[in-house]
C-alpha cells in the first residue's frame, strides 16, 4: 500500500494536452491510501515506513496517469516531509539517490538528525 499527495501544480498531459493536478503515490508513514495535500500532517500513530519526528525527509513519489485520457507520462516527484508535515511536492530534480541509505525510496536530507 501507499499514500497519495496532490501535486499543487497542474501538469499538462503530453497526449491530450489537458492540464490537471495529479495524485502522487509515495511510501512513508502509515501506508493506508491516505490522501494528503501540501501542508498536511501525516499520521503518526503508526509508521509502516520510516519513523516519526525526522526533521527533514525526502521521499520519492510517482505521479498518477492523466485522469482525462489515462496516458501515463511517468512523472517522478521529490516530496519533502519536515517533522511529519508535507512541506513540498515538486517534479524531481533527479539529484537525490533515494536508495542510498538502505530505505525504500526515502532518505534523511542534509540538516536532519535521527531522533534520539
Q: Which residues bind Zn ion (CB under 5 A)?
A: 13, 15-16, 66, 68-69, 71
13 vs 89, which CB is nearer to Zn ion? 13
Specify the long-range contacts of residues 70-74, CB closer than 8 Å, at least 24 apart: 71/13, 71/14, 71/15, 71/16, 73/11, 73/13, 73/14, 73/15
52 vs 65, which CB is nearer to Zn ion? 65
Residue 4 CB, shortest distance to Zn ion, in Å, is: 19
32 vs 71, which CB is nearer to Zn ion? 71
Residue 108 CB, shortest distance to Zn ion, in Å, is: 36
Residue 20 CB, shortest distance to Zn ion, in Å, is: 8
19 vs 99, which CB is nearer to Zn ion? 19
Residue 36 CB, shortest distance to Zn ion, in Å, is: 24
Amino acid at each position: 500500500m501507499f499514500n497519495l499527495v496532490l501535486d499543487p501544480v497542474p501538469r499538462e498531459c503530453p497526449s491530450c494536452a489537458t492540464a490537471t493536478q495529479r495524485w502522487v503515490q509515495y511510501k512513508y508513514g502509515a501506508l493506508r491510501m491516505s490522501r494528503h495535500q501540501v501542508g498536511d500532517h501525516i499520521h503518526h500513530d503508526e509508521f509502516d515506513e520510516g519513523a516519526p519526528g525526522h526533521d527533514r525527509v525526502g521521499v520519492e513519489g510517482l505521479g498518477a496517469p492523466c485522469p482525462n485520457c489515462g496516458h501515463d507520462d511517468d512523472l517522478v516527484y521529490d516530496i519533502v516531509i519536515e517533522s511529519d508535515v508535507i512541506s513540498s511536492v515538486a517534479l524531481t530534480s533527479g539529484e537525490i539517490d533515494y536508495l542510498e541509505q538502505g530505505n525504500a525510496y526515502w532518505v534523511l536530507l542534509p540538516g536532519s538528525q535521527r531522533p534520539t
